[in-house]
Structure 1
Amino acid sequence: MKRVIPAAALLAAALSVPAWAQNAQPIRIGLIFPLTGGSADMGNSARIGAEVAVNEINQVGGYLGRQLQLVVRDDKADNDTGLKHAQELVQKEKVTATVGFCNTGVAMKALDVFQANKSVLMVTCATGTAITAKYPAADSYIFRTSARDQLQTQFLVDEIVKRGLNKVALLVDTTGYGDAGLKDLEAALGRANLKPHAVARFKVGVKSLDEEMRQLKASGADALIGWTVGPEEGVISASRVNAGWKVPQFGPWGLSHASAFSTSGGKVDGAAMVQTVLPNPFMERNSSFLRGYAKISKEAPIGSMMSAAQTYDAVHLLLRAMFDSKGDLSGPALKKALENPSGIYRGVVSVYERAFSPADHDAISGNMLWLGTWRNNERGYYYKDDERKASIIRRKEQPAATAAAAAAAK
């Protein structure tokens, strides 16, 4: 049976500083996010989430007396810039591990750097299905705490089918993220014996999609899925309202970004989006995290709560791996420790009994997702019944092979 490592135990371990560690160098954690540009709401929220975690850890002594230090880089949502920073952090700065990436294309361009150097990467925002599929988990140094698109698309299609809708229009950007998302959407629809009723594509950076929206409306579709990043999700919402099209609008987690709200002028209100976590003052870990966030940033609404919370949890999962590796902070040792945790971590997104395993490097499973919406200028649960049930933690469903191995080990 997995044992829970109480916060007090971690505190005691952190404060039991051996003499050799009292003047030790800090443990440097790389951080690569888009801090400027169209994806900055994700990136800056993720950065703050990491800072909240590091501040908490350092206040109780860090890791055996060694402070954690973030080495921050701005990838500007640019593939080549992200690759450059990955090479710099891993090969020159020699960081212990890296947390990062909000854009799938940027992450994919940089993955080989981490894999070739056996350096752990925790992807906390980017959701492209291919990120954790590029290398077999048993060999991979790539881990993720965000919900991959394969899960998000299936979640949305299941919701649409549950409502009795079957003429789904897709409005998808032309980036690599959009291409991969369209493939996942078509596969999810196919599993429901459906095909896209109409499909329109557009380039990121558009200020209006009024014409595309009129065409989709004329097709007779009874539901709309917009697949893109935050600002363009806002453009979709505004154009749908401008067209007077009252079908339900669905979207991935990007629809929950503050940039979607601001770009639409609040017209995202009522749209449905995939979420791993939502603001909930009745859950202690959730509310304490939001208080820590507010000490660093007063933004309202938060640029991306999911980015922040998933990054916060990732830093704490890394800390626990450091303790489990018993002083060996090499990439292979941390990989093994992440895959074989000795205890439970009670995070903001979930309670992780086994976030990762040698066969699975995704911390989120489909049962952990919520349907969110914008209501009164803030994110909330789409269904009030979900809000009432949110205190019942949704824990990761383990793949059959992993579950069997875990049971045998007990």
Structure 2
Amino acid sequence: MLSTKRLLASLLVGTLASTPVFAADPIKIGVSQPLTGSVAASGNYVTNGAKIAAAKINEDGGLLGREVELIIEDNKSNPREAVNAAEKLILRDEVPVIMGAWSSTFTLATMPKLEEYGVPMVVETSSSSKITKAGNPWVFRIAPTSEMEAQAFAKKLETFDPPIKKVDFLSVNNDWGLGASQEFEEMFKEHGIEIGRKETVAPSAVDLSAQLSALKDTGSDTLIMTSGVEQLTLGIRQAAEQQLPQRIVTTGGSFPEPLLESPGPDGYTSTHLLFFSPWTADSAVYPEVAEGFVKAWNDAGYSFPGLSEGFRGYDGIMTIAAAIKDAGAAEPEAIRDALWGVEVKGVNGDISFVKDGPEGKESGQNEPNVYVVQLKDGEVSAQ
């Protein structure tokens, strides 16, 4: 029989053997997200997803024998602060790569700094076509463009009953909202659908009643809404209060989470374009990846509906990790070059990059999947 000392020593050795041992210096990955301000809910969801990815990487032995450390900066839902966040990450923290910056406006503001300092950024959310058309070879986007989203929605048009014949738009007044409105308008026109009234709302607005009132009697059957979680939730509630006759379809992948616990009027239905549906993770392209992420998210105690955006942070960090591993070095130029060859099995599906933008200065663009779900009486169903 083992003595007490020998038993304790044996247990200690076993514990140490199961714990990764890393080199002294961690590999830093910068993260720029809106953790406060008008779209803070989404930014925190994405950041939580990034934390889950980093934890998994470290549990699996890290990268290049080193621990992964996320350096997280709050861009405060503001493009000027997004620039400041990028400079802090690059100059102060010396990160070799960044993930960010949620909003198209924040990302576009950040992009000149990437080129100035020669640091790549994986764009996990922003959808404006300007991002990959601008000629910035340090940008790699895993999120769909608004054009991709619109074309994916076009394939669902026949599923609507009654059919979509005339649409209005309510969009947040920034690069994301205006870009989405333009792309969806062009798609609807291609399918012979009439365009009605277009309203915009400031990113910081906390009341959409005036815009919704202006849309009430347009004769349209559908209202396309593009904004973050906060304004989508408010807009759907106020539309129900005003008894807007249009069906509401939201774009951009944000989900009005508060409407699950506190639904609108009985029978009121809204439709949402997402890039991951946690309610149907078992039917994802890679169910084992999606379900594993959902489990880790739930184990961490995060809000379940936040998964529909949190996955972006997970996929973004996993994409960066794959590039660092392939590069064999945590150096900006090596990571950028390696990003062109990554093949990642993500929560959304396959992640790889094709060239987009002017010849010689192309950005990388992934071709993601788009899901459509409906919310009715606090319950979600796939469409």
Give TM class, smaller chain: 0.7 to 0.9
Instruction: Name 1:364's counterpart in structure 2.
Output: 367
How much does 1:51 deviate? 0.9
- Quickly say closer, same or farther: Cα 1:332–1:158, change in 2 above 3 A: same
Instruction: Name 2:264's counterpart in structure 1.
Output: 267
Instruction: Give the TM-score normalised by the residue count of structure 1.
Output: 0.78
How much does 1:60 deviate? 2.2
Matches within 5 A, 1:126-141: 126-135=126-135, 140-141=137-138
How much does 1:49 deviate? 0.8
Q: Distance in 2 between matches of 1:187 and 1:345?
A: 32
- Structure 1, unaligned stretches of length 5 or more? 1-14, 384-410
Matches within 5 A, 1:195-344: 195-258=194-257, 261=259, 265-267=262-264, 270-279=269-278, 280=280, 282=282, 283-299=287-303, 301-303=304-306, 305-325=307-327, 327-341=328-342, 344=343
How much does 1:54 deviate? 0.8
Does residue 348 (structure 1) correspond to residue 351 (structure 2)? The answer is no
Matches within 5 A, 1:395-410: none
CA contact (8 A) 2:164 2:193 kept: no
- Quickly say closer, same or farther: Cα 1:380–1:147, change in 2 above 3 A: farther
- How far does the alpha carbon of each residue in 1:126-151 deviate from its partner, in whole angstroms, 9 at most, with x for none? 2222222211xxx6111112222122
- Quickly say closer, same or farther: Cα 1:145–1:379, change in 2 above 3 A: farther
Instruction: Name 1:111's counterpart in structure 2.
Output: 111
Q: Distance in 2 between matches of 1:379 and 1:33?
A: 27
CA contact (8 A) 2:64 2:329 kept: no
- Quickly say closer, same or farther: Cα 1:206–1:324, change in 2 above 3 A: closer
Q: Distance in 2 between matches of 1:271 and 1:82?
A: 32
How much does 1:378 deviate? 5.5
Task: Look up the SS of the partner of 2:164 in the other structure.
Answer: coil
Task: Look up the SS of the partner of 1:66 in the other structure.
Answer: coil
Q: Distance in 1 between matches of 2:355 and 2:185?
A: 30
Range with greater deviation from structure 2 (205-214 or 168-177): 205-214
- How far does the alpha carbon of each residue in 1:218-243 deviate from its partner, in whole angstroms, 9 at most, with x for none? 12111111122221112221122122
Instruction: Name 2:143's counterpart in structure 1.
Output: 146
Task: Look up the SS of the partner of 2:81 in the other structure.
Answer: helix
Task: Look up the SS of the partner of 2:32 in the other structure.
Answer: strand
CA contact (8 A) 1:126 1:146 kept: yes
How much does 1:119 deviate? 0.9
- Quickly say closer, same or farther: Cα 1:349–1:203, change in 2 above 3 A: same
CA contact (8 A) 1:338 1:357 kept: no
**RMSD between superposed Cα atoms in Å:** 2.6
- Structure 2, unaligned stretches of length 5 or more? 1-17, 357-362
CA contact (8 A) 2:255 2:305 kept: no
Instruction: Name 1:62's counterpart in structure 2.
Output: 62
Number of residues of Structure 1 aligned to a counterpart in Structure 2:
350
CA contact (8 A) 1:234 1:255 kept: no
- Quickly say closer, same or farther: Cα 1:160–1:90, change in 2 above 3 A: same
How much does 1:87 deviate? 0.9
Q: Which amino acid is the alignment partner of residue 348 of structure 1?
A: V
Q: Distance in 1 between matches of 2:171 and 2:235?
A: 10
Q: Over alpha carbons, which structure has the higher Rg?
A: 2
How much does 1:122 deviate? 0.8
Q: Which amino acid is the alignment partner of residue 122 of structure 1?
A: V
Task: Look up the SS of the partner of 2:63 in the other structure.
Answer: coil
- How far does the alpha carbon of each residue in 1:313-350 deviate from its partner, in whole angstroms, 9 at most, with x for none? 1211222212211x233222212211123xx4322111
CA contact (8 A) 1:249 1:272 kept: yes
Q: Which amino acid is the alignment partner of residue 370 of structure 1?
A: Y
CA contact (8 A) 2:101 2:123 kept: yes
Task: Look up the SS of the partner of 1:256 in the other structure.
Answer: coil
Q: Distance in 2 between matches of 1:277 and 1:152?
A: 13
Q: Distance in 1 between matches of 2:215 and 2:312?
A: 35
Task: Look up the SS of the partner of 2:354 in the other structure.
Answer: coil
Instruction: Give the TM-score normalised by the residue count of structure 2.
Output: 0.83
Q: Distance in 2 between matches of 1:126 and 1:378?
A: 28
Instruction: Name 2:11's counterpart in structure 1.
Output: none
How much does 1:255 deviate? 4.5
How much does 1:376 deviate? 5.5
Does residue 37 (structure 1) correspond to residue 37 (structure 2)? The answer is yes
Instruction: Name 2:9's counterpart in structure 1.
Output: none
How much does 1:48 deviate? 1.1
Q: Distance in 2 between matches of 1:230 and 1:93?
A: 31
- Quickly say closer, same or farther: Cα 1:220–1:22, change in 2 above 3 A: closer
How much does 1:25 deviate? 0.8
How much does 1:379 deviate? 4.5
